[in-house]
Chain A
Amino acid sequence: MQTTAETLIELRDVSKVFLTDEVETHALAGVHLAIRKGEYVAIAGPSGGGKTTLLSILGLLDSPTDGEYTLAGHPVARLSGGERARIRNREIGFIFQAFNLIGDLTVAENVELPLTYRGIAAGERRRRVQEALEKVGMSHRMNHYPSQLSGGQQQRVAVARAIAGEPSVLLADEPTGNLDSGNGEAVMELLAELHRGGATLCMVTHDPRYAGYAQRSVHLFDGRVIDEATAAKA
């Protein structure tokens, strides 16, 4: 695996073992992965292959049992919970399959949330929220609650929340999994547009159609990278 000065994410020999009732489950085993700045990578593979575990480690929601993880040149595999939260807030934007908007917050408040944790001043927060919602075409719904939106609209808001903090990388976990094909296509177009604008994207998907949007696909099976392919489109 080659790394360059532009490498944003680098995993070296990362493994993850879950211990449940004294039974070891190897979710990831010896994974090497590098993602360059501005790259769009899809992680594909069957259920149980380790996609979500890999995304959790990339998103600093979990730590590897073994191996090294470097994000923007800094080792991040063995950080404290607080330090991980700080980096997550600044460097990573999440987009989930189930949107994961907070039902009691308005659209604007949901998008504002990561900025609040960063201690950004209120005026600046408002500006960034407005900008992010405009990017995804949802600024006209900023005072609505998630329950008042369609699934596709909710996912657009979730994308706005992910990009509002201007993170280094966007991690998307089956972003179209809960959407019909029309809305799914629209969200994929939105992500592609963000990529074209310079965003680094890493998306977990099991749908080959959507994996095709990425420049590169990494196939996981039983916790190991079994194949890497560069998309023709990319």
Chain B
Amino acid sequence: MPSLLKDLRYGARKFSRNPGFTAVSVLTMALGIGLTTMMFSIVNGAILKGLPFAESGRLMHLERNNLSQDITSMEVTLHDFPEWRQQQRSFEDIAGFYTGTVNVSGTERAERYDGAFITANAFRILRVQPLLGRTFREGEDQPGAAPTILLGYRVWQDRYSGDRGIIGKTVRANGEEAEVIGVMPEGFEFPISQDLWVPLREELPERRGEGVTLEVFGRLRDGVSLDQAQVQMGSIARRLAAEYPESNEGVGAVVKPYTEEYIDEEPRLLLFTMLGAVFGVLLIACANVANLLLGQAAVRSKEVGIRTALGASRGRIVMQFLTEPLVLAALGATFGLGLAWAGIRSFNAAIESTQPPFWIDIGLDPPVLAFTVGITLLATLLSGLLPALRASGGNVTEVLKDESRGSSSFRGGRLSAVLVVVEIALSVGLLAAAGLMIKSVTNLRNVDMGFRPEQVFTARVGLPESEYPDSAAQVRFFDQLQGRLAASPDLAAVALSSALPGIGSGGDRVAIEGKAYADERAYPDAHTIVAGPGSFDAFGVKLRQGRDFGAQDREGSLPVTIVNESFARTHFGQESPLGRRIRLGGPETEQPWLTIVGVAPDMFADGLENEEPEAVYLPYTQSPQRFMSVVARPRAGEPGGLTAPVRDLVAGLDPDLPIYFVDTLAGRLSQATWFYKVFGTIFMVMGFVALFLASIGLYGVMAFSVSRRTREMGVRMALGAQAGDVRRLILRQGLKQLAIGVVLGLLLAFGLGSLLRIILFQVSPADPVTFVSIVTVLVGTGVLACLIPARRATRVDPMVALRYE
């Protein structure tokens, strides 16, 4: 320990005498360790930590599949759930839920919340206790049971000001009087980001397979593995398939860890790819510091010789040389933690509006800090071991006899060159990733929707089933709402639509009249959007052919549809689709044939990623909906000014109905594409840090090489070499490293690009423009990093150089 303290003191003294070296090394380490810590905290918070419940690793998600129909994931029907629950022996118990809107009204303004309709046993399975009151009792989740409700902590605080007397009171939830039985603790938002919970009180539909479907989860019994549970659930599914072939033929069961349902393979792969990429930045940082230390080691070879002559063993010398990078890494880690903290704050702020699953908790918690300590030690070894071994392995006699200033006996040049090649290769890979992301984000910003989304106001309205139980009531409400919105002096154009352009919509199988389909899989798919009259006007686009929906399209009149251009082109080619008929659903559909009355432009029905999705529009009067979005443009002023009039118009029709998801369409699109922006930004930061560090590395190595070759330069110039010759000599050395690094880096970039496919927006993972651009940027920066030392070499005075000791 006294030796360590002595080494630390000696290291600190050396660093204070060499502030430039110290500052660059600490900054380099801070960037590497900071970025790696930030990325690890994201992976830890999103994937590794899991659910914040006791033994949460035993909580599994259960679902169905039908591989014969290429369906890998289906929720569980109301009929299958009780049979699964009764027959299974692998789990302590299983519970079911579906999520949906819960409109709460009563004492105050109606407000919409994300709720879960859940079986009573769920909280027992999760092993979670309420903060106040109780959770659901068995029987409260049966049809006909008295309505009850459990409040989330945030609702309790925000809406009821943390009133402890709320237990036992009644509130209106989706139009029903429900007794508040409890308040859940802060942070509990199971299953994803729910604000409150009501018991699942669904009547069992007469026909098997009908009705809502459930997400199911359970807690594995002690001693039962996931595989064993999978086998048992599979045999239950096969039994049900044999018993109920009409509804269950080909249906299997899938068991997987609960969190995998919400963060599946692709995001996991992406996050681990990013963690790998950020380790690349750390490696670059370590290579940089290693190079700087190699330079120091070269200068200090005589010191090592002296220490060896005085009896220091090689191990002791190595330990001393490792103490110095430890000091640098520890200082770097301190600043790096600050960078990570700022990065995590920005990341959390960026994802806040996306309502991430409640268990995602990203911060500098103890496991992350332990990780930081680990990578600090790793960085110490990565950056310090080679220089330490190199420094301690020299020929002592030669070094001590060496009259020069200690550098000529040291042969670290080739090692430095290899490190720089590695840095450049990693930088090319990371810059390519950054370049692809920059292009993705630019493409996103430049998407031409055919209208200005920032001028379009949107808000969602959801009708509770209890109050609007049938189609007629739903159509009546939206008819009235459409009429009042159209009459409002604040609105220039208004429409109702089940889905918004660029956000995505549901889909269905489609049959074209006159065409034959071999089986269900042969039916084409199309996105389905239910809309009111005037919706295309509200977005400011014109129909390409035919007419919009109108007052004549009612229940009982000719069923009609409008198709988009892609649908028309795919299924009717050059022919006009007007008057042709299509039908939604597969071979057993009972849906009516729909006559095409119009052709609309493509409006990103599948989200922004797909410009040409096939889509069909249906009038809400013939396809009633409980949930619709209000789409409007203001007559004057900003779209945000429409919030109050639209809320008042809805409340005027039903005071229990809130509006929610209030935003401009541009705002909604921004939320829908956060993924690209946030991860794109992280990659951009990584890429630029990599470029910065690689440039420093290249510059450092070239500058050091030039300083070591001062005498050689003097000799060359004394023998008649011109400045250009010397410059070329230095540049050639640097360019050789650049070229090898770039070639290796491009191979890495191709691999990284294909792993990033899922977050690329309209960019090929091997986009040639991006690759050429980043190679140009890196080579340009590299040449600059070589040019400065090369110019310095040409200023060598041969007389001085030849006297140089």
Interface check B315, CB cutoff 8 A: yes
List the B side residues contacting A173 at CB < 8 Å. 400-401
Q: Bound state CA distance, A59 and B400, in angstroms? A: 12
Contact stretch, chosen from B66-74, B302-310, B349-357, B435-443: B302-310
Q: Within the complex, what minimum Cβ distance (angstroms) separates A204 from chain B?
A: 11
Across the interface, do A116 and B302 meet the contact criterion of CB distance under 8 Å?
no
List the A side residues contacting B306 at CB < 8 Å. 96, 100-102, 113
Q: Within the complex, what minimum Cβ distance (angstroms) separates A174 from chain B?
A: 10
Q: Beyond A102-B303, A102-B306, is A114–B10 a contact (Cβ under 8 Å)?
A: no
Interface check B14, CB cutoff 8 A: yes
Q: Which of A53, A56, A104, A117 contacts B310 (CB 8 A)?
A: A117
Across the interface, do A88 and B397 meet the contact criterion of CB distance under 8 Å?
no
Across the interface, do A105 and B10 meet the contact criterion of CB distance under 8 Å?
yes
Tell which of B3, B10, B400 has the most Cβ of chain A within 10 Å: B400
List the B side residues contacting A102 at CB < 8 Å. 303, 306-307
Interface check A130, CB cutoff 8 A: no
Interface string of B570-595 (1 = CB under 8 A from A): 00000000000000000000000000
Across the interface, do B397 and A85 meet the contact criterion of CB distance under 8 Å?
no
Interface check B316, CB cutoff 8 A: yes
Across the interface, do B396 and A86 meet the contact criterion of CB distance under 8 Å?
no
Q: Beyond A117-B311, A117-B312, is A104–B17 a contact (Cβ under 8 Å)?
A: yes
Across the interface, do A98 and B403 meet the contact criterion of CB distance under 8 Å?
yes
List the B side residues contacting A53 at CB < 8 Å. 397
Q: Within the complex, what minimum Cβ distance (angstroms) separates A15 from chain B?
A: 16
Across the interface, do A62 and B397 meet the contact criterion of CB distance under 8 Å?
yes
Q: Beyond A100-B306, A104-B13, is A89–B311 a contact (Cβ under 8 Å)?
A: yes
Q: Within the complex, what minimum Cβ distance (angstroms) separates A114 from chain B?
A: 4
Q: Bound state CA distance, A173 and B396, in angstroms? A: 14
List the A side residues contacting B366 at CB < 8 Å. none
Q: Beyond A52-B401, A94-B309, A104-B17, is A116–B396 a contact (Cβ under 8 Å)?
A: no
Across the interface, do A113 and B307 meet the contact criterion of CB distance under 8 Å?
yes
Q: Bound state CA distance, A96 and B311, in angstroms? A: 15
Q: Beyond A100-B306, A113-B307, is A122–B2 a contact (Cβ under 8 Å)?
A: yes
Q: Beyond A81-B314, A85-B311, is A56–B6 a contact (Cβ under 8 Å)?
A: no
Q: Within the complex, what minimum Cβ distance (angstroms) separates A48 from chain B?
A: 12
Q: Bound state CA distance, A117 and B401, in angstroms? A: 23
Across the interface, do A82 and B3 meet the contact criterion of CB distance under 8 Å?
no
Tell which of A59, A102, A105 has the most Cβ of chain B within 10 Å: A102
Q: Which of B6, B309, B313, B403 contacts A116 (CB 8 A)?
A: B6
Tell which of B309, B312, B316, B401 has the most Cβ of chain A within 10 Å: B309
Residue of B nearest to A59 (CB): B309
Residue of B nearest to A106 (CB): B13
Across the interface, do A117 and B316 meet the contact criterion of CB distance under 8 Å?
yes
Q: Beyond A56-B397, A61-B396, A122-B2, is A100–B313 a contact (Cβ under 8 Å)?
A: no
A27-61 CB contacts (< 8 Å) to partner B = 52-53, 56, 59, 61
Across the interface, do A85 and B313 meet the contact criterion of CB distance under 8 Å?
yes
Interface check A118, CB cutoff 8 A: yes
Interface check A219, CB cutoff 8 A: no
Across the interface, do A104 and B396 meet the contact criterion of CB distance under 8 Å?
no
Interface string of B334-345 (1 = CB under 8 A from A): 000000000000
List the A side residues contacting B308 at CB < 8 Å. 61, 85
Interface check A90, CB cutoff 8 A: yes
Q: Which of B2, B3, B305, B314 contacts A85 (CB 8 A)?
A: B314
Across the interface, do B400 and A118 meet the contact criterion of CB distance under 8 Å?
no
Across the interface, do B397 and A90 meet the contact criterion of CB distance under 8 Å?
no
Across the interface, do A88 and B314 meet the contact criterion of CB distance under 8 Å?
no
Across the interface, do A81 and B313 meet the contact criterion of CB distance under 8 Å?
yes
Interface check A224, CB cutoff 8 A: no
Interface check A161, CB cutoff 8 A: yes
Across the interface, do A96 and B17 meet the contact criterion of CB distance under 8 Å?
no
Q: Which of B10, B309, B316 contacts A104 (CB 8 A)?
A: B10
A93-151 CB contacts (< 8 Å) to partner B = 94, 96, 98, 100-105, 113-114, 116-118, 122
Across the interface, do B397 and A61 meet the contact criterion of CB distance under 8 Å?
yes
Q: Which of A86, A88, A118 contacts B309 (CB 8 A)?
A: A88
B645-689 CB contacts (< 8 Å) to partner A = none
B548-605 CB contacts (< 8 Å) to partner A = none
Q: Bound state CA distance, A94 and B312, in angstroms? A: 13
Interface string of A190-227 (1 = CB under 8 A from B): 00000000000000000000000000000000000000
Across the interface, do A89 and B310 meet the contact criterion of CB distance under 8 Å?
yes
Q: Within the complex, what minimum Cβ distance (angstroms) separates B446 from chain A?
A: 58
Residue of A nearest to B315 (CB): A82
Across the interface, do B310 and A114 meet the contact criterion of CB distance under 8 Å?
yes
Q: Beyond A100-B400, A116-B3, is A61–B309 a contact (Cβ under 8 Å)?
A: yes
B714-742 CB contacts (< 8 Å) to partner A = none
Interface string of B1-27 (1 = CB under 8 A from A): 011001000100110010000000000
List the B side residues contacting A116 at CB < 8 Å. 3, 6
Q: Bound state CA distance, A81 and B393, in angstroms? A: 11
List the A side residues contacting B302 at CB < 8 Å. 100
List the B side residues contacting A100 at CB < 8 Å. 302, 305-306, 309, 400
Q: Within the complex, what minimum Cβ distance (angstroms) separates B308 from chain A?
A: 7
Q: Within the complex, what minimum Cβ distance (angstroms) separates A191 from chain B?
A: 18
Residue of A nearest to B314 (CB): A81
Q: Beyond A61-B308, A102-B303, is A82–B397 a contact (Cβ under 8 Å)?
A: no
Interface string of A155-198 (1 = CB under 8 A from B): 00000010001000000010000000000000000000000000
Residue of A nearest to B402 (CB): A98
Q: Beyond A53-B397, A62-B397, A100-B305, is A85–B10 a contact (Cβ under 8 Å)?
A: no
Residue of A nearest to B303 (CB): A102
Residue of B nearest to A178 (CB): B403
Q: Which of A56, A89, A104, A117 contacts B14 (CB 8 A)?
A: A104
Across the interface, do B397 and A94 meet the contact criterion of CB distance under 8 Å?
no
Q: Bound state CA distance, A144 and B13, in angstroms? A: 15
Across the interface, do A82 and B400 meet the contact criterion of CB distance under 8 Å?
no
Q: Bound state CA distance, A116 and B9, in angstroms? A: 14
Q: Beyond A98-B403, A104-B17, A116-B6, is A85–B396 a contact (Cβ under 8 Å)?
A: no
List the A side residues contacting B3 at CB < 8 Å. 116
Residue of B nearest to A121 (CB): B2
List the A side residues contacting B2 at CB < 8 Å. 122
Q: Within the complex, what minimum Cβ distance (angstroms) separates A217 from chain B?
A: 21
Across the interface, do B13 and A114 meet the contact criterion of CB distance under 8 Å?
no
Q: Bound state CA distance, A62 and B313, in angstroms? A: 14
Tell which of A85, A105, A122, A161 has the most Cβ of chain B within 10 Å: A85
Q: Bound state CA distance, A105 and B153, in angstroms? A: 63
Q: Bound state CA distance, A82 and B308, in angstroms? A: 10
Q: Which of A56, A85, A90, A161 contacts B312 (CB 8 A)?
A: A85
Q: Within the complex, what minimum Cβ distance (angstroms) separates A173 from chain B?
A: 8
Q: Within the complex, what minimum Cβ distance (angstroms) separates B2 from chain A?
A: 7
Interface string of B441-465 (1 = CB under 8 A from A): 0000000000000000000000000
Tell which of B306, B309, B310 has the most Cβ of chain A within 10 Å: B310
Q: Beyond A104-B10, A122-B2, is A86–B313 a contact (Cβ under 8 Å)?
A: yes
Across the interface, do A113 and B310 meet the contact criterion of CB distance under 8 Å?
yes
List the B side residues contacting A104 at CB < 8 Å. 10, 13-14, 17, 303
Across the interface, do A114 and B396 meet the contact criterion of CB distance under 8 Å?
no
Across the interface, do A96 and B10 meet the contact criterion of CB distance under 8 Å?
no
- What would 24 A/B residue contacts be, using CB atoms closer than 8 Å? A59-B309, A62-B396, A81-B314, A85-B311, A85-B313, A86-B311, A88-B309, A88-B310, A89-B311, A89-B312, A96-B306, A98-B400, A98-B403, A100-B309, A101-B306, A103-B303, A104-B10, A104-B13, A104-B14, A104-B17, A105-B10, A113-B307, A117-B307, A173-B401
Chain B residues within CB distance 8 Å of chain A: 2-3, 6, 10, 13-14, 17, 302-303, 305-316, 396-397, 400-401, 403
Other than the known A82-B315, A89-B310, A116-B6, what 7 A-B pairs have Cβ atoms closer than 8 Å?
A52-B401, A82-B313, A89-B311, A100-B302, A103-B303, A104-B10, A117-B307
Q: What 7 A-B pairs have minimum CB-CB distances, sorted nearest first?
A: A89-B311, A85-B313, A114-B310, A56-B397, A100-B306, A117-B311, A88-B311
